[in-house]
Structure 1
C-alpha cells in the first residue's frame, strides 16, 4: 500500500474508523471464536471503554498497561485507547517477577488491565510498583477470590465489564506526532526500553506491502500475540485500515492452523519464522492446500521457504524492520532469501561503525531516514542518551547487520549486538543474565545466542558459582522455570570455573559463542551434549514446542 498520498492527519485510528464507518458500518471488523463486532459496534463499544478509562482518571496521552490474551476484548480496549489519544503499554503475558515490575514502573502507568489469571503476579510485585493505583480485572472461568481479595487491599479494583458500562466518550482529534504506544523492545546493552511510537508510525507499520494486504471484506487470520506490534498493528490494524475483518485466534496451533484458516475463510495471515517451521514439521496431508489463504507474511523466512511455498500453495511475503524503524524493507513475492527493497518514503543505507556508507556487497549497519515526519519511533521513554544514539548523525540506527547487492536488494545477516531472537521473541542477554544471577549460588553469567535446528536462536548461558556453593544444571533450570518467561529460559547451561575476560575484566562473549554447545547441559534432552550430538534436531516427543 503506497501511503505517500495519504494525508498525515489521516494516519490515526480515529480517521481509519471514521472512513470505514462511512463505507462498511455493518461489516464485521473484529472477531474471535466466541464473539464478533461490526465496525459500528467496535466504534460504539470502544468509545464507551474510553469513557470508562476517563472515570478511572486516565487522561489524554497518559499510559495504560495491558496484560491480556488474544480476544475481542483486548482489541476493544486498544480501540478505546486509540480513539481517546491515550497510550497503550502492552506487556508480554509471560512476564513475571522483576521483569514485569521493571516495565510497569518504567512506563509510569497508574492503571493496569489484566486477565484474572495474571493478577497474582501483580500482587507478588506490589511493593515494586508503587505508582500503580487501579487494576481492572477481566474475569476468567474460575474466579480466584483470594487474589481478588489481596488485590483489593492494594489497589482500586474493578471488573472489565464496568469499563463499557460508562457513558461513551467523544472521539479525540489525534495529531500524527501524538503517542499511540510505549512498545517495550528488548535492550541489547541494558534493560528493555519503551519505544515511543506516534500514531503516524503505527499507521505505517500496519500498511507495509510486505505484511500483505487484506482487501475490503476479506478476513485476516491473526495468530500472533496482541502484545506485539506484529500482531496488533500487522494483524488487527492492517485489517481495519483495509476495511477487512480481523479474526483473532486465541493462540497458534501448528496442528490446526490450516483447518482454522479454512473455517474462518481467511485470505491473508502473518507468522514468525518459528511458526512456519512448526507447520513444516507437521505430517504431510492431502489437505495441505485445501484452504483459502492467498498470501502469508513470514518474519523471517524459514530456511526451506521454497519447499514451504510449494507444499502449502501460498504466496510468501517477508519484510525487514523493527519496533523503532517500522517495516522499512519488504519483499512482496519472496523467491530468494532477500528481505527485499526499501518501501516508498524511506532512504536506507548500509554504514560502517563511523557512519560512512559502504558499497554493495559489504556488510554493515542498516540505517534509515524517512522523508516524512513521525513515520518512525521518536526515541526511548526516559532515555535521552539511548535516543541520541538511535538517531546519530540524523539517521535511525537499526543495530542490525545487512548488505545490499548491485540491484538494490537487501539481505539480513545478523544482529550487531548481543540480542537473541527465540520463538518469535527478541530477548536481551542482559535480562537473561539478571534472572540467572538472582540465584544465590550464582556468581556470574553470560548469555549468548547459539544456532538452533529451527529458525532464529537458542540460548546458552555460561555460569560461574560463588565460592563454596554447589548447583547442578537441572536445579538452576528449575529455578529459572519459576522466575522467568518460558521463552527466555535457556536451553543450554555450561558451568565454568571462570568466564573468559579481557584485560579490563569484560566478558569475552565471542569466545563463549565460538565454544558452541559441546559439554553443555541440554534442557531439551536432559543430558550433556557430546561432539556427535551438537547438531541433533530437537525431537518432537520432547514436548518443548507447541502442538
Structure 2
C-alpha cells in the first residue's frame, strides 16, 4: 500500500477534526479587511451542512459542480463538501467571460453552479444553452433571486450530521482543473482524492511543514498551487491556513504578520510587484520563514527580496498535470534558486529529445516526469483520450517544457517548447533573452517572442516594462544584449509597454502578445 492508502478528502478532514477540534484551521480576510476564523470542528460542521444541501438538490456521486468564486470560506467549504459526497469540483477563474464559462459548464457536464451575485449576469446570458445545469447557488447573498438559490439560507436549515453515507475511494475523481488554452480549448485535468493527498504529503515533507505552521494563501484557489501545495499540505500535518480574498503587493507582509502566517507561495510576477512597492523596514519583521515560488526571477531580484524581507525563497517546478512538484530546491540543502531544483519525493525526472530518448547532462530537451496516473500524476484529461495519450506515455508525463541538467544534478529551466524561437536555423530560448534583459538596472520585466520574418524564419522581439523613471532607449538595451548574448540571440526589436496581459496567477500571456503582432 502506498502513502495515500485509502484516504479521501472526507476521511482526512474527519481525522484532523478528531485530532484538533478546537484548533484554528482557516483564518480568512476579505477584501474589506474583515476577518473570520474557523476551527477544524467549525469547518467540518459547515462542510457537512453543505453536503446535505447538495444531497437534497439531487447531486449524485460523480456529478460535476462548477465553482465560480473568489477566494473565500465558501470556496473552501464547497471544495470539501463536493469531495465529501463523491462529486467533482470544477473551479474556475472569476475573470472568465460568459463564452468561456459556457464552454467549461458544457464540456464538464456540470449540473450545479456556485457563484456570487457579482457574476450571475454572465450565466443568465447562456443558461438556456446549458440543459444539464439544474441549479445555481449564490454564496454571500441575502434574500431571494429569480434564477438562483440562496446557499446561506439552505445551509442554515441543513443538518450538521451526514444524512446519507456515500462510499468514496481514493482513486475517485475529486476535482477537475481546466488548463488555460492558447491555440485550443482548455483541457480538464482530472484530479483524484489520492492526487490531493499525495500533493499535500509531498510538499509537507519537502518543506518540513509542522502542525504549528500556517500556510499563507493569496493566489487564487481555483489554481492548483493554492489547492495542492498550500491547503493540502496544511491539512496533511494538521496545520492551518491564512486565506486572503485578493493578493495585495503593498500589504503582503503586513497581512502575513497580522494573520500569523509562516509559509507562503508566490509566482514571479507577485515577487516583482512586491519589490516595486515603497519599502517599509517593518516588513522585515514579518512572520514568514519560507516562500515557495515558481517561474523565472532575476538573480538580483531574488537577492534583494531575501535581503529586504529576511526570508528564505525556494524555487520549484510543477504543473497542474504533475500534481506535486517534481523538482524543488532543498529546504535543508544548498539552494540554487536560479535553478528549479532537484527531483523530489516520489518522482523520477529526466530530459528527453523529440523521440523520447534520454539526453545527457548539459543538453537541452523536454522535461519528462515519471509517476503513477491518478496517484502522483493526473488521472488524465476529461473526454480527451488523444491528448491524454500524447501527454502520458508509459507513466511518463511529457511536460512541454525544456530544461537541462547541470553536473551537480540541479535542473535549469530553459523555456516552454512553444516559446523556442527559430531564427536563421538556430534555436533561441525566449527565457534566455529575457534573463539577460532583466539584468539591466532600468528593466522591471520582459517578455520575448518570435515574430514572422521572411528571411530568418523568425525575428526576436522583446516587450519591456521599465522601472519607474528609467530613461534607457531601445538601442541601449540592444547594445547591452550584444555584450552578453551570441549575435543570433540579440533582439531585433524592443517595444516599451506599461503592462502585460496576464493570467490570474501573474503568468504573461504570450499568445495575446503574438496575436497583437499578427493583427497590427
Taking structure 1 as the reference length, the TM-score comes to 0.75
Distance (whole Å) between structure 2 residues aligned to residue 307 and residue 226 of structure 1: 28
The match for 1:159 among 130, 136, 151 is 151
Instruction: Please state whether the residue corresponding to 1:37 is helix, strand or coil.
Output: strand
| 2:254–2:283 Cα contact (<8 Å) kept | no
Aligned-residue offset at 1:458:
4.8
Instruction: Please state whether the residue corresponding to 1:9 is helix, strand or coil.
Output: coil
What's the counterpart of residue 227 of structure 1? 222
Aligned-residue offset at 1:76:
0.8
Aligned-residue offset at 1:409:
1.2
Q: Is 2:27 the counterpart of 1:31?
A: yes
Instruction: Please state whether the residue corresponding to 1:349 is helix, strand or coil.
Output: strand
What's the counterpart of residue 177 of structure 2? 183
Q: Deviations over 1:62-109 (max 9, x none)?
A: 110000111111111111112222111001000013212111111110
Label 1:171 to 1:38 Cα distance change in 2 as closer, same or farther (>3 A): farther
Q: Deviations over 1:289-342 (max 9, x none)?
A: 111111111112521212211211111112111111121111134333111111
Q: Deviations over 1:170-209 (max 9, x none)?
A: 5644322110111101235411100011111122223334
Instruction: Please state whether the residue corresponding to 1:46 is helix, strand or coil.
Output: helix
1:462-541 paired onto structure 2 within 5 Å: 511=458, 514-516=460-462, 534=494, 536=496, 538=498
Instruction: Please state whether the residue corresponding to 2:110 is helix, strand or coil.
Output: coil
What's the counterpart of residue 417 of structure 2? 416
Distance (whole Å) between structure 1 residues aligned to residue 22 and residue 444 of structure 2: 41
Aligned-residue offset at 1:288:
2.7
Q: Deviations over 1:381-423 (max 9, x none)?
A: 100110110113442111111111122211111111269xxxx
Distance (whole Å) between structure 1 residues aligned to residue 10 and residue 101 of structure 2: 31
| 1:214–1:220 Cα contact (<8 Å) kept | no
What's the counterpart of residue 132 of structure 1? 133
Structure 2 residue ranges without an equivalent (≥5):
30-34, 421-429, 478-493, 507-520
| 2:306–2:312 Cα contact (<8 Å) kept | yes
Instruction: Please state whether the residue corresponding to 1:35 is helix, strand or coil.
Output: strand
Label 1:459 to 1:250 Cα distance change in 2 as closer, same or farther (>3 A): farther
Distance (whole Å) between structure 2 residues aligned to residue 121 and residue 409 of structure 1: 46
1:318-357 paired onto structure 2 within 5 Å: 318-326=315-323, 327-333=325-331, 334-357=335-358
Q: Is 2:356 the counterpart of 1:361?
A: no
| 1:53–1:163 Cα contact (<8 Å) kept | no
Distance (whole Å) between structure 2 residues aligned to residue 367 and residue 461 of structure 1: 25
Aligned-residue offset at 1:372:
8.3
Q: Is 2:6 the counterpart of 1:9?
A: yes
Aligned-residue offset at 1:500:
6.5
Which fold has the larger relative contact order, with Cα–Cα distance below 8 Å and residues 6 or more apart in sequence? Answer: 1
Instruction: Please state whether the residue corresponding to 1:76 is helix, strand or coil.
Output: helix
Q: Is 2:222 the counterpart of 1:276?
A: no
| 1:273–1:456 Cα contact (<8 Å) kept | no
| 1:85–1:180 Cα contact (<8 Å) kept | yes
Q: Deviations over 1:240-272 (max 9, x none)?
A: 112111111111111111111111121111111
| 1:214–1:267 Cα contact (<8 Å) kept | no
Q: Is 2:193 the counterpart of 1:195?
A: no
Structure 1, 244-253 or 329-338: larger mean CA deviation: 329-338
Aligned-residue offset at 1:538:
3.9
Label 1:539 to 1:88 Cα distance change in 2 as closer, same or farther (>3 A): closer
Label 1:82 to 1:164 Cα distance change in 2 as closer, same or farther (>3 A): farther
Q: Root-mean-square deviation (CA), in Å?
A: 3.4
Label 1:389 to 1:36 Cα distance change in 2 as closer, same or farther (>3 A): same
Instruction: Please state whether the residue corresponding to 1:238 is helix, strand or coil.
Output: helix
Aligned-residue offset at 1:19:
2.6
What's the counterpart of residue 488 of structure 1? none
Distance (whole Å) between structure 1 residues aligned to residue 102 and residue 235 of structure 2: 33
The match for 2:199 among 174, 198, 205 is 205
Label 1:537 to 1:325 Cα distance change in 2 as closer, same or farther (>3 A): same
Aligned-residue offset at 1:378:
1.6
| 2:217–2:241 Cα contact (<8 Å) kept | yes
1:71-90 paired onto structure 2 within 5 Å: 71-90=72-91
Label 1:418 to 1:405 Cα distance change in 2 as closer, same or farther (>3 A): closer
1:20-59 paired onto structure 2 within 5 Å: 20-33=16-29, 34-59=35-60
What's the counterpart of residue 14 of structure 2? 18
Aligned-residue offset at 1:236:
2.1
Q: How many residues align?
A: 452
Q: Deviations over 1:410-450 (max 9, x none)?
A: 1111111269xxxxxxxxxxxxxxxxxxxxxxxxxxxx999
What's the counterpart of residue 509 of structure 2? none
Label 1:239 to 1:98 Cα distance change in 2 as closer, same or farther (>3 A): same
| 1:345–1:372 Cα contact (<8 Å) kept | no
Aligned-residue offset at 1:362:
0.6
Q: Deviations over 1:339-397 (max 9, x none)?
A: 11111221111110001000011111111112686221021010011011011344211
| 2:315–2:329 Cα contact (<8 Å) kept | yes
